[in-house]
Structure 1
Amino acid sequence: MPARNFRFARIVNICVALSLAGIPAISAADSASAARYYEDGLARYKKDDVPGAIIQLKNALQQDNKLLAAHVLLGKALLRSGNPPAAEAAFNEALKLGVSRSEVYPSLGRVWLQLGQPKQIIERLNPDDLPVASRVEVLSIRGIAYAEQGNYPAAARSFETARGLDANSLIPLVSEIPVLLTQAQIDRAKALSEKAITIDPNSADAWNMHASTAHAAMDIKTALERYSKALQLDPQHVDARIARASILLDLKRDAEAAKDLEELKKLVPDEARVAYLRAVIAGRQGRTAEVQASLKKIVEVVDGLPASWLATREQFLMLGGVGHHGLGEFVKARAYLESVINLNSRNLGARKLLASIYLDSKDYASVERTLDPILRSLPNDPQTLYLMGQMRLAQKRYVQASELLDRALKAGGDSAEVRAAIGFTQLGLGEGAAGVKSLELAFARKPGDPKVGLALATQYLSSNQGAKAIPVIDAVAKAEPENLATRNAQGAVHAAAGDLAGARKIYESILAKDPNFAPTVLNFAKLERAEGRTEEARKRLSALLNRTRDDDNAMYEMGQLEQAIGRRAEALRWFEQAFLQRKTNVRAGISLVDAQLASGKTAEAVKTAKELVDANRGNIDALSALSQAQLSAGDRPGLLQSLKELTSLAEYDALLQLRIGRMHLLAGNADGAAWNAQKSLAAAPNNLGAMSLMADAELTRKAWPKAESLAHELQTRYPKSAEGFRIAGDLATARGNAAAAADAYRAALDREPSTIAVQRVVHALLLGKDPGKAQDTINAWLAKHPTDLGARAALAEVHMRTANWKGAREQFEKVLAVRRDDVGILNNLATVLQKLRDPSAMSVAERAWKLAPQDPNVIDTYGWSQAQAGQYDAALRLLRDARLRNPENLETRYHLAWTLGKLGRKAEAREELAPVLKAGSAFEAQEEARALNRELGG
């Protein structure tokens, strides 16, 4: 068995979250049946029996809906069949299940091109870190997307970058030609098409583009010849056949065009362009019924699409509008066209068609769109300005709020309310001192004002000025002595300021007046929990729930109590009840999401978070919870969208911008993280967290000089912090300077000792091929911290690097005695047991796989265990899955090739082995790979 290329960093705990929660159990029989359907579908696909392949792949997924290979191949087959919406769904499902981006991004890009969604491509198809071939294709697709947005300079740069990566690739050439033709750059397009033909004279795509250049130059005869050549090479080339049919229709050679359209109907029965051409030819021949049928076909396809999916698809909305208009169904046409305008106000065709419908219905107000904003009618009304300012303030649109409130002030609205609103706006803009001063002025103008007083007290508490907060809240309570809600707030402020005895007296006086006043009962229970009086707190909450069984806040506090004493299952149950009772209870929803994630119930956490956001639109905390759940679930597209919304809502909240930026980095979006760092620095210049975030973003973008400068600045500005030295270590690691990395990490460890700091030092020493010092470092740490399981796991991995399998086993088993469900430890232990030829290796690998069935390394380990045990069919399914999730993993490719060879599928095996052999010394077990290649007849 080949030596494994071990990664030092253990598999992160997030793998545990990707558990079997919500996944129905699949029996061995179902898995075997699914695998048979898949293999048959694969064979049909390779023989160009696309409809048959789709049927068999769907059969496979009926048996096992988590069969990753089936989702990927189904997407490709659906794309070939001309059904891009269904293909998109298949590819998105594959991404959710963990397929490698390189396996589906090119196909998904083609789907979005067909659907007219260039924005999706630009925002979601990131070419960074993809293998060269995939990067070339994605860059080419992005070039087309930029062009569709009218950004031709960006398109040209994208194509140029793609050509620079592979000068012999056809893809950038055939992708750029249509863009050049739309810009009337026919000579340039012609040159590229000739180059494409030179590179591969047997490429149907090259001939199709060669024909397109002639078509654009109005050389119709040559264009027809070249389209025919493309179809000789590939009779199923849809674009070439549609183009030829269009020319034939223009030449009034309808009989010949009809043959192409009949063939297209077989190839792409749901293609809207084909339906339109069929309508044209039917109209010429006076077959009105067929014209109507074609239009009905278009609207049938569009109307049948899910509303949520259709809502962002401009091209399909437009087709629905045109189709319904042609059928005289103006109400439906109007709805589609209004949606188009909402998506793209510059769609002139939709505007003209929609205006005609409005005109026919005498809806002149909608035609003219002449309604004026309220403030245009009342530009100097202080109350209107104030209310508008309050609305913008609630939306956290602080700049607009500031403008409106300043106008209100100048118009004579110099009241405590306006001053307070200005103070809130200044706080939102990051002007903390100015904001507090405005609140102080407002409170002085209206002493005892509960809204201003509570806000001012809160600001004092947030800046650790509890002594200032207490007299403010006491003044508010004195102004309203009979208001129990105000008195309750007074108690909460006293408690937050550290005056627990004072808070207790206030709560007791409130309950003396009203023993059933729920807000104070809840706060009193919280106080008792803080004092360690858990039984008293439980009795108080239980009594409240006995009186009001539907009190979601009491349920939430009971969950907090149970969680504080370590009863996680009970806490989860209470949080579920609270959120089920009231979906607008943000605290309960967030606590439920956190508890579900901690329990490994990732799918449930995402579902809960989405429900929370739906019930609390615009709520930052709810959206933050969704972001965390999406991060844990590996839903990168959904996470990036949530983070984009969060960034807009956060505005000048420096700490929140940092949280968002860190999640951007975890999602691999360095540009987004840098933007959040800039926003945080704008609110709090030179703050440590933002500078560190910016440095990490520059590291991710491989902007070494910028990262180095920031590391030096952090070391100078914050010499006692580990961050500057940690970043210097990361930079040295990225540059391959292991010795410098170890020195920097040691400096960070000296300043802020921690397990992860030790692991960084050890990692650097291992990179420098000094396992002896790495082991000494870990042993020294463990001598002082013998219960540090993270360090013990690191020691086990050091043993693995030195082939000390018995030592590694001993350390891993010590860790597992405490952390029984640690996926990374189980996976590595399974590998160690394989090395020791211990028969328990498979059962340990299976345990890891059941906990993390979507992790490619775990799947590979389990699949290889199956293969080594001679269970080749089961191994094949697992190893195909692992390969799709991480196609760059050479070890998985070797394992899959070996298994295919054992099944007698030598051609496929050689195909999987090719990149392993090409890697040379980069694959440690190169001799075993060459031996396998000889066995396969290579």
Structure 2
Amino acid sequence: MTSSPRQSSQALSIIASIGLNRYWQKRMLVLVSLLCVLAAAPLGADETGLGKARGFFDEGNYSAAEIELKNLLQADPNLAEARLLLAQLYLRSGEGAAAEKELRRALEIGADPSALRFDLIEAKLQQQKFAEVLQSLEAAALPEQERARALALRGRAHMGLEETQAAEDAFSAAVALDPSQRDAGAGLVQLALLDGDIDGADAASARLREQYPQDPDIMLLRAEVERRAERPEAAVALYGEVLELEPENLRALLGRATTLVSLERFDDARTDLEQVDAIQPNIVIASYLRGVMAFYDRDWDTAGEHLQRVLSARPAHVQSQLLMGIVSYARDDLQLAEEYLSRINTAMPGNPQAAKVLAATRLKLREPERAVAVLEPIAKDADPQIMALLGSAYMLAGDQQQGQQWLSRAVETAPDVAALRTQLALTLIAGGDMGGAINELESAVDLGQEVLQADVLLVLAKLKEQRYDEAITASEALEQRRPDSAVAFNLTGLALLAQGELDAARAKFETALELDSEFSTALINLARVEVANEDLDAAEAQYQRALTQSPKNLAALLGMAAIAELRDDDAGIVAWLNKAQDANAAAAQPGLLLSRYYIDRGEHLKALTAANDLAARFPDNVDALEMLGRAQTLADEPASAIRTFEQILEKRPDDPRVHYLKGGAEWKSDELDAARRSFERAIELKPDFVDARVALASVLVAADKEAAAAQIARGLQDDYPDQPLGYRLEGTVQMSARKPESAVGPLRKALELAPSAELVRQLAEAYARADRPDDAIALLQDWGGRQPNDFGSQAMLAMLMHGEGMTDRALPIYERLYAAGQNNILVLNNLAWILHERGDERALEIAGKAYELDPNRPEVADTYGWILFNTGERDRGLSILQQAHLAYPTQTEIAYHTAWALSDVGRGSEALPILRRLLREHPNAEQADEAQALLDKLGDGAG
């Protein structure tokens, strides 16, 4: 009997070479090792049915032979020769389990065990039962003439166990016993291929071919050598010769299809694969090859479907995992790409292709530190592309120096590659070196390699520098070079839009759409033109056009949310942001915007819910974690916020903003020392971090360290002498230290530098608390003459006058504020009181409005209750006064009014304890004399 090669993991050997350029233009060279199955020796039976089956077998028509043999066995299950021929058929087809089953049935009906010994071993080899094969051969007492064959089989078992030295020893011993031993010769060729000794395999397989010129298995082995020697056309011809002898030889069909794929002859490969499906459907290698072809065609969905079938059958298939990772990256399914590519990087840590795509995935996920971890081990003497990726990762991680160094090395290594200069320009832009970025982009454009990204970035960089004319010149030059490019006209439109030339910009965007009706970017830019024209309906129509073309378009969905915001449509904002989030699961931006929306509106619990969901979906995304920490702080979960910020600092220990945010959470937790240290660290990392300096001063004030806080304020005055911040901060610190006179000077200076209503009121308060009411009133009057609609300052002026006894001057201001619809409770309350004192009937209505706004405010309840009582609604007025007194028993005016009202309705006994308590606990109160008089009147002069 003849034998077949191992059917182990080495039955499929694939080498994939992938470049990480913009369009995955470097194609994959797919190499599948298809090892030989040796031919079956003929059986001697001559019955009509059996002879017919043998004829089909000899012609290579295995499916017809199988049908004939199964029919024979159905009629006579004990037909040994039919069962043995069926076993040979299965061995030829690589179906070891089926072959072993038929051989054992043959033994049961009387076949000679010694004659079938090697066929059973062949069947076990095909099932990868390598250790069992070695044990059975070890135990067998073989005649001398069979030892060479047995050694060849042992060699194949050792190969299956990847024991290459033992395999070589066995094959060499077999050849020494019998130089014509074909299996051993083939095994030595296979070992040479595994060792990369292509020349040795070439010579040895050529000798075997001379010995066995028409042996299909030797022809298959020779074809594999031709392919590995980069002679694919010769391999295709050899596979064709095998198929002429055996039209249904699956190994030949798959081998030829694989080679045709490497030659990008996809139609021919598909023809072979269709024939494979007809013979034996659902073969894993066929699915893999179809996935590779779809990958070449950039049909990501189809590629993913085929590769998923491979991985369902062979979860550990490295090449399919690699391709699936790349396909997932291309489909922007970044979490899935990360999963597959991480496995490959672990299994093949030195593989540059896997590392490139994994790093690119992590950069898209905004995990630059993890991208650095992948690239750094292979960066030394790496290709420029890896250097550029590593540079980008460092830049995103905040290490601009390292980032620019690696990108500069990449450009030095490949100075004529425009794409690398473009990538260096990106990092220079991120680092704020716009001039250097523009120089690199201009160099990239001058190289003439049609790297469109360089042109795009050059225009955008000049727009950011507000060099609008230069931007238009650059984009128009691109229009001349690429008159059929929608991108070029879109860029010019952007430049014109930035200049405010809305009609000209619209014309460019429309030209872009004429060139490419599905260019959604131009539609979105047209929408921006309409927003600038304040035509929200037209803008919405453009966004809807973009969404009709691409329902998941993130920019269009976010644009609709922005329109809803311009329309004050809160429900619409939330709905569109949720839709954007649902449609773009890999994008964090919608969740970030939704969380920020709730924060801006003070809906902190909703913000926390949105941020928790975002962080759960992007657990390693620093922006998502930062938003979660902010929401936790605002939602009164400062302890959780501190832990979140500490988690970020594990990734970015030198991020000043995160230290600042952590300090805010610690401050809210009353951990003043910890907050101070966090703010100090933020300032240490970024000395010009103004917000952190102000926050540190505020913490010092809270810790009763006003002198240190004032020193910070003076430092800001020195650093920013033309800005009000330092002076205003010093004024605030002095007010907190109860030194209003010391606050006046810096607040006045701040007001001179940048007049504002807030500063006017703050300075007026300092004057008032420094016992300088006249200065406060004069300041507010002067400001009111210049800003008559600053109702907050007018209210403060009226209350100051009222407090100083200037009721006649305060009253017209109160009335003007009331007429203007101001619902300031204190203004309404004070106006009602003055009008009541003057017998004006409007007092009751105005007091009622104040009470509706805040019935729990003591002075408001007192005013309303007192006016009600004195204008005829005595029961209701007394009830409100009593409720207010119960809520605020230490308010002496409410106590006196309640006691007086009780006495006036004949309930003096209830008034007595109220009056006694007032006089006992507040003997110097403004109402003390009146309370004593009322007490005396009620007959309790002893108090």
What's the TM-score, normalizing by structure 1? 0.47
Q: Which has the higher contact order (CA 8 A, sep 6+)?
A: 1
What's the TM-score, normalizing by structure 2? 0.47
